[in-house]
Amino acid sequence: MKAFGWSDARGRPDVRCSAHFVTQHSAGSSPAQTSPDDQPRSWAARVAGALTHRNYRVLWFAALGSTIGTWMQKYAQGLLVYDLTQSTFYLGLDDFLNQLPILLFMLIGGVVADRHDRRRLLTISQYVQATAAFTLAALVWTGHIHVGFVFAMSFLAGCGQAFGGPAYQALIPSLVPKRDLPNAIALNSTQFNLSRVLGPGVGAAVLATIGTAWCFFVNGLSFFLVVVALAALKLPKHVPAAVRGAVTEELRGGLRYVRETHVLLTLTVLVTLSTFLTMPILTMLPAFANEVLTGAGRAETRLSMLMASQGAGAIVGALLIGFLGTTPKLGRILLAVQIGLGLVIAAFALSTWLALSLVLLFAGGILFMALFSLSFSLLQLTVPDALRGRVVAIYMVAMRSGGPVGALVAGALADRFSAPSVMAVNGLLLAVISAGVLVSRRGRALTDVRL
């Protein structure tokens, strides 16, 4: 995934992206301020207002094309790893190694983004990720591919994301005025999830017609869409923010505040638990397509349909949450969504009918996007402005760490038992724990928070 995808984690105002996950969090790091002369706007203006600004429009369309390439490679790479190893554990390990640099270096990447030109950093990150994609294309094309090489390129691409994500996060506010910043975040989430629908389908077509190597090669080319777009932006010279203290000292202060604030600690634990138990379903989709849902068409076609269905649900979820607005008892809604997501994951794991599995993944996409959008809204409601950046960074690390670690554990267990049995247990476990939190004292403190 590219840096743009980091926003996908938040969902409304995310979604990578491929920053899946970081952009949305970053832009949401301070609540929107409404000036007295701001007037209510039409539905159309709220939906697409940010695209009226040239800089944002240029980068948005480039990011869309680039992220389609990312999901095209993700589709082909999952099939390649499974074909090389016949192991769900290695599927999880590949995802873990791709996410590991983000977990290790993301906070450092934020510091670097504040001290150096963000457009230049983001451009360098595109070159790094393109290099990884072109290397895989060459290895597959020449027949010298080995799963160890795939793992190494996943780690290299993750390094590019770790430093590109914060740079993109810091760049977004300079592309649109403050009035259109929430809309820019929502459109970024829509772009990311739209690419999740289109990418696997494009990847399936490319793989079936001209081969796996071309999926990697085309993705490598797609990074240059962003490079060209960044060069075309009309921006003032970047002025780095003044350093106010040691990075480690400020991070310790944020960690201490989260630990001592019950609502923030509960949200952080819940988001880690949710990604740990639910994200492995995406990593193990190749196993479901090959071994469980065997009655309709080729495995490659089934996999692209499953990935597209989940992505379409995420798009719908992003749009629905965008209309939610201020709602009382938001914490109660969050826990109810989390219970529903666990039950949907368990039902998908037990399904052997492709049509039902597609419906369940669509519903899961809606609930998954709603879960992280709601949890981030609660976080923003609780944290003071003086600590907002550090607390959001801690939340992002917690969110990003649960998925790869969960994929690694679930993949190892699935090799011993089976992918359906592991994910069924994961889903039920999430539902039971969420229900327990809902009736607990800590859960009541969370559900009492209002927007």
Domain membership flag for residue 23: yes
Rounded to whole angstroms, how far apart are CA atoms 181 and 184? Answer: 5
Closest CA to 68 of 230, 219, 279, 186: 219
Rounded to whole angstroms, how far apart are CA atoms 434 and 49? Answer: 37
Write the pLDDT tens digit of every residue in 127-143: 999 999 999 999 999 98
Per-residue confidence at 118, pLDDT binned at 50, 70, 90? confident
Other CB atoms within 10 Å distance of the CB of residue 83: 13
Given this model, what pLDDT does residue 101 score?
A: 87
Domain membership flag for residue 36: no
Write the pLDDT tens digit of every residue in 307-326: 888 878 887 876 676 555 44
Q: What percent of the chain lies above the pLDDT cut of 90?
A: 21
Q: Which one of 130-139, 179-188, 292-301 scores highest in mean pLDDT?
A: 130-139
Given this model, what pLDDT does residue 259 score?
A: 83
**DSSP 8-state secondary structure symbol assigned to residue 241:** P
Q: Tell me the chain's radius of gyration from C-alpha atoms.
A: 21
* Residue 389 in this model has a pLDDT that exceeds 60: no
Domain membership flag for residue 42: no
Query: Which residue type is seen at 200?
Result: P
Q: What percent of the chain lies above the pLDDT cut of 70?
A: 73
Rounded to whole angstroms, how far apart are CA atoms 344 and 362? Answer: 10
Average confidence (pLDDT) over 35-64: 71
Average confidence (pLDDT) over 233-255: 68
| 3-state secondary structure at position 417 | coil
Q: Are 78 and 303 in contact (CB under 8 A)?
A: yes
Domain membership flag for residue 39: no
Range of the domain at 369: 5-28+48-447
Burial 258-276 (b: 16+ CB within 10 A, else e): beebebbebbbebbbbbbb
Which residues, 6 or more positions from 113, have their beta carbon under 8 angstroms from its beta carbon? 121, 163, 166, 167, 169, 170
Given this model, what pLDDT does residue 399 score?
A: 80
Query: Which residue type is seen at 258?
Result: V
Rounded to whole angstroms, how far apart are CA atoms 229 and 119? Answer: 10
Domain membership flag for residue 43: no
Closest CA to 320 of 380, 366, 377, 381: 366
Quote the pTM value: 0.64
Per-residue confidence at 449, pLDDT binned at 50, 70, 90? low
Write the pLDDT tens digit of every residue in 64-96: 999 999 989 988 898 889 888 888 788 878 888
**C-alpha separations of 285 from 33, 201, 225, 274, 407 in Å:** 42, 15, 29, 18, 11
Domain membership flag for residue 410: yes
Given this model, what pLDDT does residue 345 score?
A: 93
* Residue 450 in this model has a pLDDT that exceeds 70: no
The CATH code of the domain that includes 234 is: 1.20.1250.20
* Residue 38 in this model has a pLDDT that exceeds 70: no
Write the pLDDT tens digit of every residue in 354-379: 888 899 999 998 898 778 777 776 77
Given this model, what pLDDT does residue 327 score?
A: 54
In a 10 Å sphere around its CB, with 0-12 CB exposed, 13-18 middle and 19+ buried, how is residue 285 labelled?
buried
* Residue 443 in this model has a pLDDT that exceeds 90: no
Domain membership flag for residue 38: no
Rounded to whole angstroms, how far apart are CA atoms 81 and 87? Answer: 8
Domain membership flag for residue 432: yes
Other CB atoms within 10 Å distance of the CB of residue 144: 9
Number of domains in the chain: 1
Rounded to whole angstroms, how far apart are CA atoms 424 and 439? Answer: 23
